[in-house]
Structure 1
Amino acid sequence: MTDMTLFAEQQVRADLAKLLLAAVEASGRARCNVARDAQIHKDALRRVLAGERSASLGEALRILAACGVAPHAHLLLFLVSGDDHAIAWLQSDLAQFFEVFSGELPSAMERVLGNQVHDVKPRWAKGTAHRVARLLSDHIDELERKDALLGDVFADAEGGHRG
């Protein structure tokens, strides 16, 4: 059962404010510029970042976008794993990967699973997540091996031209 205290308005507001404040600070931009680009009054932004006012979904997305981060990824991370991952992944390639991955996943599942999409069980989620992470790790290792091999080939070719 879900712990409903996690969804208390003040706690959610404070956690979201923490994420948005971290995004604004990491952006290196002046708050007035973030407010302008997010189409939110600078005083409203100040109150949101202080946790005195709740940001609407649209405001939160626009603030994150104005900070130059992947807005959907960070809100999704915030919703599913809390502010820690969302803050830790600010302005990272991992967040951009997560944004594209999570946006592509529903249609990819429908395309690959076809009629089996309705057979998917919630209990498989954790194992599947670990399997996807292992698959991604193997993919990165393979790409690094290929890069190293190509680097050796180019180094040999350059050495051959000089000698």
Structure 2
Amino acid sequence: MTQSRQDKWGEASRGLAAFLDHAVGESGQSRRTIAAQTNINKDALRRILAGTRPATLQEALTILDACGHAPRTSLMLALAGYSQQTVDWQSSAVLQFLETFISELPVALDQALGERLLDVRPRWAKGAAHRTAGLLSDHLAQLERQDEQSFAL
């Protein structure tokens, strides 16, 4: 592995450790309770949260689940470098929305595109994400207008 790649893995591992530590701290549960719920030895959990021992994928998922996070989405965002957004969104429904959205997306793409799915290009992803966010914004605005109209009656 090249030095640059090792640096990136090390940075991701440290970021994940800091995120997991924050999730445990914000969960309102003791580390001992989290260790018991996840079946991770309390000393191993301490080292994971300190960043001196990397977490396995399964360990990270179970820690996040025990903390009340949407585990797959939280982990994906943390590994992609968006740990702070995960923290910011922790007390909202956004993480659960993303968890369901990402889980449903492959089926929705397959149903909507069928054989044309093979024509999809990676470069379209950013635009598709922005378009989806725009559609959600429009939908929320429409719901707000409907609420205002129902209160006006």
Both proteins in one fold, TM over 0.5: yes
Pair 1:110-2:110 in alignment: yes
Match of 2:143 in 1: 143
Structure 1 residues 25 and 48, CA gap change in structure 2 (3 angstroms): same
Unaligned regions of 5+ residues in structure 2, if any?
A: none
Q: Please state whether the residue corresponding to 1:91 is helix, strand or coil.
A: coil
How far apart are 1:91 and its partner, in Å? Answer: 3.4
Structure 1 residues 6 and 105, CA gap change in structure 2 (3 angstroms): farther
Pair 1:31-2:31 in alignment: yes
Count of aligned pairs: 150
Largest Rg, 1 or 2: 1
Q: Is the 8 A contact 1:23 1:67 kept in 2?
A: yes
Report the AA paired with residue 22 of structure 1. H
How far apart are 1:6 and its partner, in Å? Answer: 5.4
Unaligned regions of 5+ residues in structure 1, if any?
A: 154-163
| Aligned equivalents of 2:91, 2:73: Cα separation in 1 | 11
Q: Give percent identity, aligned residues only.
A: 45
Match of 1:7 in 2: 8
Q: Please state whether the residue corresponding to 1:68 is helix, strand or coil.
A: coil
Q: Is the 8 A contact 1:68 1:91 kept in 2?
A: no
Q: Is the 8 A contact 1:73 1:99 kept in 2?
A: yes
Aligned ranges 1:14-163 → 2 under 5 Å? 14-153=14-153
Report the AA paired with residue 18 of structure 1. A
How far apart are 1:20 and its partner, in Å? Answer: 0.4
How far apart are 1:5 and its partner, in Å? Answer: 5.3
| Aligned equivalents of 1:132, 1:145: Cα separation in 2 | 20
Q: Is the 8 A contact 1:69 1:91 kept in 2?
A: no
TM-score when normalising by structure 2: 0.90
Report the AA paired with residue 38 of structure 1. T
Q: Please state whether the residue corresponding to 1:149 is helix, strand or coil.
A: helix
Q: Is the 8 A contact 2:12 2:81 kept in 1?
A: no
